[in-house]
């Protein structure tokens, strides 16, 4: 089975993130594999071990993205592809990403493409579905179980806490939700082997794309941190007074009434 | 000069940190309170290939270097001194001597299960009257046909209750000057006549197994003799040098863990309407701790780098062990001070760091012995 994983490098949101001039500061930020993409890598390895074939991990990013790809290789993926857009693209959005991936997949014959449900940085959840549309293959988002039998695919999908059971067929694109599996730690032998595994680096030229075709369809006007939560207030006095005060606060201070 | 970790080293550090945070940290208080050796954690460390970092693949190892191993010890020590100590002792003392001095057959038979993490090893040097003064060793191994017959008593042996093999040092004869020849022999712990008990009630590293071994007419084949019998004990000084790097890394981990706890607490704890981290008295403590931790790290990494590059590292390993473990003690002590009364409580964990750190100034050569080693290297 020809399995692909779409992987994104994101900020480690457990580390300190600072924003200045509407941009997230890269310096000193820690980067990790998007946690939902780790489910995708794990599932790809599990499916390959069950059905044979090969797992290729693909990312769009810069030179530093190699670290996340090597980690996926250390977990057990077979090959990695880095589409380096550092020199060619100043900005991009989900349209850009999907377009580049469409070109990448042009000469591939994927049976299964796995992606994270969302990336924890921008959380659009769009790249997977957009790519599937462009490739003309079915897709299922937020999956929590994946069973493949020949061409037949049985999926359980998380729908706001409920489960939807879906039957589809290969080739298919799925996006992975928490609960699908428990991603493994890359083992020591895995880490040592990872440096010998193939990691191909491509630029948009190699995919016969040029900047103009990839111009983003959206504009980011500002990025800001949520306001710091202020301490709550406890109203005192008779119930009637409290209610009156509350209504007045909602009206005049919070302006929600 | 290059102070950057390789990609593999960085990946190993991150993997061990993730594992330590997710699997070991939630249990660290319980491991200490119950003083129970976390065997299941060691099974997992084995599955991840961590028990065999510095050994080649042909003996079940992972083919990593000393620096990677030191990074792993640091990350485990950062969350749990007990687990860190048992890990360091299993690799540096239980397995390394077999790798450095074992015959091909010994490596295949005894090193492989240790490196694969399927079994644990221990090193039985210390006796009631001999430790750094190895010349005081009373345990004897007498040749009898194809066997050695070993009699004696070992104490304070890390991991022995859970070990498959113990490397035992024993007097095997006298040289021409009439001095005792001390050799090392691999003793499987299922031999008849070997009794291992762990009744110690320790101040710290309470979840790390420490045992007493009594050997009564224990017979092991002569082929279990480890290394060159003529060179005697000297070859094992090499083992101890390597072990010092790992204890230094453990001290570094505890020092870093203490700093992390103290810094987080100082930013959260408010007194006089401000976080205590805004007071100079606290700031100076944190600045000193952070500086010392980084200095210790540089020394540990340098000693590991020297070893990996086959350069002499005895002096640097002693520097690292001495400085990093004393840094661990100071950092843990200051972390408690910054926490105030809360720091004295088990729940806040820094008191455990202090108890664990104390052992590191004693085990594998006391701070005083490190100073002796350094002074000797200076030609004193």
Q: What is the DSSP string of B271-317?
A: ETTEEGGGSHHHHHHHHHHHHHHHHHHHHHHHHHHHHHTT---HHHH
**Domain B234-377 -> CATH class:** mainly alpha
pTM: 0.89
What is the distance between the alpha carbons of residues B360 and B321, in angstroms, rounded to a whole number?
8
- In A, minimum Cα distance to B18 occurs at A185
A191 contacts B11? CB cut-off 8 A: yes
Q: Is B287 on the interface with A (CB under 8 A)?
A: no
Length of chain A: 257
Which listed CATH number (2.40.110.10, 2.30.30.30, 3.90.1150.10, 3.40.50.300) goes with B123-230? 2.40.110.10
Beta carbons of A192 and B62 less than 8 Å apart: yes
Residue of chain A whose Cα is closest to the Cα of B58:
A189
Give the nearest chain A residue to B51 (CA atoms): A188
A129 touches chain B (CB under 8 A): no
Contacts of A190 in chain B (CB under 8 A): 49
Q: Which residues of B are catalytic, by number? A: 364
- For residue A148, which of A44, A40, A37 has the smallest C-alpha distance? A44
Chain A hits for B7, CB-CB cut-off 8 Å, are: 66-67, 70, 195
Q: What is the pLDDT along chain B (380 residues), one digit of tens a residue?
A: 889 999 899 999 999 999 999 999 999 999 999 999 999 999 999 999 999 999 999 999 999 999 999 999 999 999 999 999 999 999 999 999 999 999 999 999 999 999 999 999 999 999 998 888 878 899 999 999 999 999 999 999 999 999 999 999 999 988 888 888 899 999 999 999 999 999 999 999 999 999 999 999 999 999 999 988 777 677 777 778 889 999 999 999 999 999 999 999 999 999 999 999 999 999 999 999 999 999 999 999 999 999 999 999 999 999 999 999 999 999 999 999 999 999 999 999 999 999 999 999 999 999 999 999 999 999 99
Q: Please indicate whether, in this complex, the C-beta atoms of B11 and A192 are within 8 angstroms of each other.
A: no
Domains of chain A (ranges, CATH numbers): 2-214 (3.40.50.620), 229-257 (no CATH)
Residue ranges per structural domain of chain B: 7-120, 123-230, 234-377
User: Cβ(B136)–Cβ(B127) under 8 Å?
Assistant: yes
CA atoms of B159 and B165, how far apart (whole Å): 10
Q: In 10 A of CB B138, how many CB atoms?
A: 14
Q: Kindly list the residues from chain B whose CB atom is less than 8 angstroms away from the CB atom of residue A71.
A: 11, 14
Choose among A67, A187, A195: nearest Cβ to B49.
A187
> CA dihedral defined by B229, B362, B319, B160, rounded to 10 degrees?
40
Tokens representing A201 are 């680096």
Q: What is the 3-state secondary structure (H, E, C) of chain A?
A: CEEEEEECEEECCCCCCCEECCEECCCCCCEEECHHHHHHHHHHHHHHHHHCCEEEEEEEECHHHHHHHHHHHHHCCCEEEEEECCCCCCCCCHHHHHHHHHHHHCCCCCCEEEEECCCCCCCCCCHHHHHHHHHCCCEEEEEEEEEEECCEEEEEEEECCEEEEEEEECCEEEEECCCCCCCCCCCHHHHHHHCCCCEEEECHHHHCCCHHHHCCCCCCCCCCCCCCCCCCCCCCCCHHHHHHHHHHHHHHHCCCC
CATH level 2 (architecture), domain B7-120 = Orthogonal Bundle (1.10)
Q: For residue B80, what pLDDT is reported?
A: 98
Residues of A in contact with B91 (CB under 8 A): none
Check CB contact of B50 with chain A, cutoff 8 Å. yes
| Interchain proximity B11–A74, CB inside 8 Å | yes
């Amino acid at each position: 089975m020809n399995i692909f994983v779409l992987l994104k490098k994101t900020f480690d949101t457990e580390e300190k993130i600072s924003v200045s001039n509407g941009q997230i500061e890269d310096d000193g930020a820690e980067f990790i594999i998007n946690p939902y993409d780790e489910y995708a890598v794990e599932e790809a390895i599990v499916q390959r071990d069950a059905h044979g074939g090969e797992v290729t991990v693909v990312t769009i990013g810069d030179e530093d993205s190699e670290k996340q790809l090597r980690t996926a290789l250390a977990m057990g993926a077979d090959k990695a592809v880095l589409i380096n857009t550092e020199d060619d693209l100043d900005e991009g959005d989900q349209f850009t990403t999907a377009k580049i991936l469409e070109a990448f997949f042009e000469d591939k014959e994927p049976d299964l493409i796995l992606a994270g449900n969302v990336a924890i940085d921008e959380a659009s959840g769009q790249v997977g579905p957009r790519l599937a549309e462009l490739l003309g293959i079915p897709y299922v988002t937020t999956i929590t179980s994946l069973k493949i039998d020949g061409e037949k695919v049985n999926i359980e999908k998380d729908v706001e806490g409920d489960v939807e059971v879906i039957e589809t067929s290969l080739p298919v694109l799925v996006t992975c939700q928490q609960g699908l599996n428990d991603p493994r730690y890359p083992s020591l032998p895995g880490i040592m082997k990872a440096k010998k595994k193939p990691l191909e680096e491509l630029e948009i030229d190699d995919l016969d794309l040029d900047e103009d075709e990839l111009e983003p369809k959206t504009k980011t006007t500002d990025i800001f941190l949520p306001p710091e939560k202020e301490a709550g207030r406890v109203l005192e006095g008779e119930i009637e007074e409290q209610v009156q005060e509350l209504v007045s606060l909602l009206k005049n201070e919070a302006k929600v009434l | 000069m290059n102070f950057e970790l390789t990609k593999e080293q960085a990946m190993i550090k991150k993997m061990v940190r993730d594992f330590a945070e997710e699997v070991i940290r939630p249990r660290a208080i319980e491991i200490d309170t119950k003083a129970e050796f976390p065997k299941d954690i060691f099974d997992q460390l084995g599955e991840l290939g961590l028990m065999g970092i510095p050994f080649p693949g042909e003996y079940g190892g992972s083919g990593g270097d000393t620096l990677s191993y030191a990074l792993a010890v640091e990350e485990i020590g950062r969350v749990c001194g007990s687990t860190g100590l048992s890990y360091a002792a299993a690799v540096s003392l239980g397995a390394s001597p077999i790798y450095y001095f074992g015959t091909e057959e010994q490596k295949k038979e005894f090193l492989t299960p240790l490196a694969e993490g399927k079994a644990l090893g221990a090193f039985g040097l210390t006796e009631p009257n001999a430790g750094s003064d190895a010349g005081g060793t009373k345990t004897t191994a007498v040749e009898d046909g194809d066997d050695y017959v070993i009699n004696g008593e070992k104490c304070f042996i890390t991991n022995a209750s859970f070990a498959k093999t113990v490397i035992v040092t024993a007097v095997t004869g006298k040289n021409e000057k009439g001095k005792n020849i001390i050799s090392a022999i691999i003793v499987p712990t299922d031999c008849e006549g070997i009794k291992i008990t762990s009744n110690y009630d320790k101040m710290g590293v309470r979840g790390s197994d420490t045992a007493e071994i009594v050997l009564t007419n224990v017979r092991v084949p002569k082929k279990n003799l480890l290394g060159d019998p003529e060179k005697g004990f000297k070859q094992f000084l090499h083992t101890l040098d390597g072990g010092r790097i790992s204890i230094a890394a453990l001290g570094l981990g505890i020092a870093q863990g203490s700093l992390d706890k103290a810094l987080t607490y100082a930013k959260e704890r408010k007194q006089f309407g401000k976080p205590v981290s805004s007071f100079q008295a606290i700031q100076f403590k944190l600045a000193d701790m952070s500086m010392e931790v980084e200095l210790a790290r540089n020394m540990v990494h340098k000693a590991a780098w020297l070893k990996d590059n086959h350069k002499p590292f005895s002096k640097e390993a002693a520097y690292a062990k001495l400085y990093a473990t004393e840094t661990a003690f100071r950092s843990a002590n200051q972390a408690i001070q910054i926490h105030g009364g809360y720091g004295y409580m088990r729940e806040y964990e820094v008191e455990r760091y202090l108890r664990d750190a104390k052992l590191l100034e004693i085990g594998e050569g006391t701070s005083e012995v490190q100073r002796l080693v350094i002074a000797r290297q200076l030609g004193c």
